[in-house]
Copies of this chain bind each other. A is one copy, B any other.
Amino acid sequence: MAESPESMQCPRPLDDYPRIVMGHGGGGRLTQELLERVFLPALDNPALRQREDAASLGPIQGRLAFSTDSYVVQPLFFPGGCIGDLAVHGTVNDLAMRGAMPVAISAAFILEEGLPIETLQRIVAAMALASKRVGVPVVTGDTKVVERGHGDGCFITTSGIGILREGVELSASIARPGDAILINGTIGDHGMAILSHREGMEFGSPIVSDTAPLHELVATMLAVCPEIRSLRDPTRGGVTTTLHEIAAMARVGMELDESSLPVESAVQSACELFGLDPLSVANEGKLIAIVPANSVDRLLEAMRSHPQGRHAALIGRVTSDASHRVVMRTALGTARMIPMPIGEQLPRIC
């Protein structure tokens, strides 16, 4: 049987390419095959299926929240997750920290020539599972390919659209002296999971990333206390950086109680070995909440009833320090300042 000109043009279907080649980013047939065989089957939803330059979403009433983050984590797979679910959770959480309900996510991939297709499939499968669990579809996307040695396997940028709740005005700038500082669980898990995995070390029990979506926990919290002042997820730079940011924006100080900080013993051991402070290590399923002091009990009760808040704790209070310092009160009653981290404790953590 004579081959058609088209089939002659494409002697090697995707099955023959075990790894990403430059042509997968060319916009032609190989790009379409990648879309049809990897992305669409895993992430399928009506908006993505349109295959237009932009996804068309349903009618929306209200104020929007909009957020974006790039993910360059190494390794791509780590205990507790991978870059695929991390990218979904991270953008969902950025929306949730404004009190927004996420409605749609975009995902743009920058792939390095030579990445095994099977690796990409595992990443996309994790993204799809996270998207399904969160209930927020990946409605539009993009794929680019860079030459070997000009990228690093896979970078992902997710953006998210959310709808802001009426009557909720979360902002770091409205924290007030006397407010309480809450966290929904243990500190430093994500960063130390990555670092331990990189270094091939074990610390008694394995350290697992806390990567998780927080929008439902936030909904639970706002239901019992719509007057929450600020929510922030302490990712890069950890709790320390987040508290410094809030302190600077609200022109207040922060005081932490050392004995109240929830830290897993394996994370504590790993931090001691590497000379790191868990407070400055990245989290990917944690939030810092600045709340009115009289709402602490009902908030902690609500948080502890939720899977993402079982180990919720009151860890400190907002002060009226005119220098906007973050201070640690030790078990012995002494105080020490916690400076803002300058740069990088752990590179490529998210």
Residues of A within 8 A of B (CB): 4-6, 9-10, 21-32, 47, 50-72, 93-95, 97-98, 100, 104, 106-110, 139-147, 149-152, 155, 157, 159-162, 164, 171-172, 232-233, 235-237, 241, 245, 249, 282, 323, 325, 337, 339-345, 347-348
Contacts and interface: CB of A to CB of B under 8 A. Distances in A.
3 residue pairs, one from A and one from B, having the closest CB atoms: A23-B343, A27-B236, A27-B237
A161 B236 contact: no
A54 B100 contact: yes
A29 B343 contact: yes
**Secondary structure dominating the interface of A:** mixed
30 contacts: A4-B323, A5-B337, A5-B339, A9-B342, A23-B342, A26-B236, A27-B241, A28-B344, A29-B341, A52-B98, A53-B94, A53-B97, A53-B232, A54-B98, A55-B65, A55-B67, A56-B64, A61-B61, A64-B64, A66-B161, A68-B159, A70-B142, A71-B144, A72-B146, A108-B157, A142-B157, A145-B347, A146-B348, A151-B152, A157-B159
Contacts of A98: 52-54, 56
A26 to B, nearest CB: 4
